[in-house]
Structure 1
Amino acid sequence: MVVGRRASRMVVVAVALGALIGGCTDARPPVASPAPTGSPTTTPTPMSSAAPPSTPDPATPPTRPAAMAEPSAEGAAAAAGYFMSLYAYANATGELSEWDTMSAPGCTFCAGVREDVESRRTAGLRNIGEVHVRSAAGTEVDAGRWYSARLHVVIGESEDVKDDGSIVEVHPPEDHEIDVVMTWTDASWIVDEVGPASGPTT
């Protein structure tokens, strides 16, 4: 969770996310536009039911919420929250298999996180810090296919730590409203992009 890199990446991702939201193609729909068959369905999702719990031990693999099993606004909120739990887990452990499983090939944010994790791993470092999903609301864009979720995410103070336990650098906490664009395919969630919230925030 390197703050300088992350801030720069968020600007790049904002452009990519804007392309997804503002332009309709066969591959990805505009997140803010209604589905052809009706208006998007937005479901505010309490932490207790769909979004995963915060990660007091980021080195422990997060548990998939049951709500992720269905293509719905609630499922999208749960999947987005789970993905952010994987963010903390990947940074703390260097384990990227589940992160990669949920990441679309063209996801700029997903690839950037992978690059940061691998760079630290090569340097013999891990980044230890908690991620708290304060709220999550899913939106159905095209039933059974395309969804988005608005998350309020708080990233606690984190530390770059060597294998011997010594601390190399401390990063300050961050507070973000983010949008997560997702596709439901083959009975699973794929994250197409993550970026700063594109409209009014909670």
Structure 2
Amino acid sequence: MATALVLAAPLGLTACTGSSGRDPSPSPTATGVAATPDPTPTAPSTSRSSKPERPAAMDSFDIEGAIAAATYITALYPYVYNTGDLTEWKTLSHPECIFCTSVVEGVEELHGQGFHNEGGQILVEGATAVELNPGRSFSADLSLRQGPATVVDSSGNQVGEPSQEVSSGMTFILFIDQGNWQIREAETKPHEE
């Protein structure tokens, strides 16, 4: 059933593993930390076709840019399931990011069956980032709340039960590759009460 593909766990996210040989694993020594208590998320949309706006802060390759890139990818997550438009998602995805690839496969399978999601917008409630390798890689931790999502067929009929609202944490490892942000890894963390 299509509902198993979408949001079975908070964000349906898993850790990414693998090694490209291009970039070593991030250094465990942090060179900077920033906290953003009230990041400005992309405004949630109820429309299937409203693409999130790319934050201008993504043009900076620093801690604020890492937070903006991680926030943007979370805004794209429901958008790609709602519309099937994977263009921007693929641009931000490192080729070996397992999470990124699993989203592409899930979206293609869902839309290939004639289904799509409605809802599931994500609000970033807090964010911090650490520079792992100066000018090369960052880790960003986001506190997230995702609204309910419903799988709908091509006639607009609901398929299965809608998902519930969920809160979780998310850690992203981001690299700067040829002047662009790339999501290298992503991992869900349990919500802390």
TM over 0.5: yes
Tell me what 1:159 maps to: 150
Tell me the SS of whatever aligns to 1:83: helix
TM-score, scaled relative to structure 1: 0.81
Alpha carbons of structure 1 residues 3 and 52: separation in structure 2 relative to 1, 3 Å? closer
* Distance of 1:66 and 1:93 partners within structure 2: 23
Mapping 1:25-36, distance limit 5 Å: 27-30=23-26, 33-34=28-29
Which sits farther off after the overlay, 141-150 or 53-62? 53-62
Q: Once superposed, what is the RMSD of the aligned Cα atoms?
A: 2.5
* Distance of 2:58 and 2:192 partners within structure 1: 24
Residue 109 (structure 2) pairs with residue 119 (structure 1):
yes
Tell me what 1:2 maps to: 6
Query: How many residues in Structure 1 have an aligned counterpart in Structure 2?
Result: 184
Contact 2:26–2:133 at 8 Å: present in 1 too?
Answer: no
Mapping 1:62-141, distance limit 5 Å: 62-129=52-119, 130-141=121-132
- Name structure 1 gaps, 5 residues minimum: none
- Name structure 2 gaps, 5 residues minimum: none
Tell me the SS of whatever aligns to 2:167: strand
Percent of aligned pairs sharing the same letter: 29
Moved >3 Å (runs of 4+): none
Contact 1:79–1:189 at 8 Å: present in 2 too?
Answer: yes
* CA shift for structure 1 position 2: 1.7
* Distance of 1:97 and 1:108 partners within structure 2: 17
Tell me the SS of whatever aligns to 1:68: helix
Alpha carbons of structure 1 residues 109 and 83: separation in structure 2 relative to 1, 3 Å? same
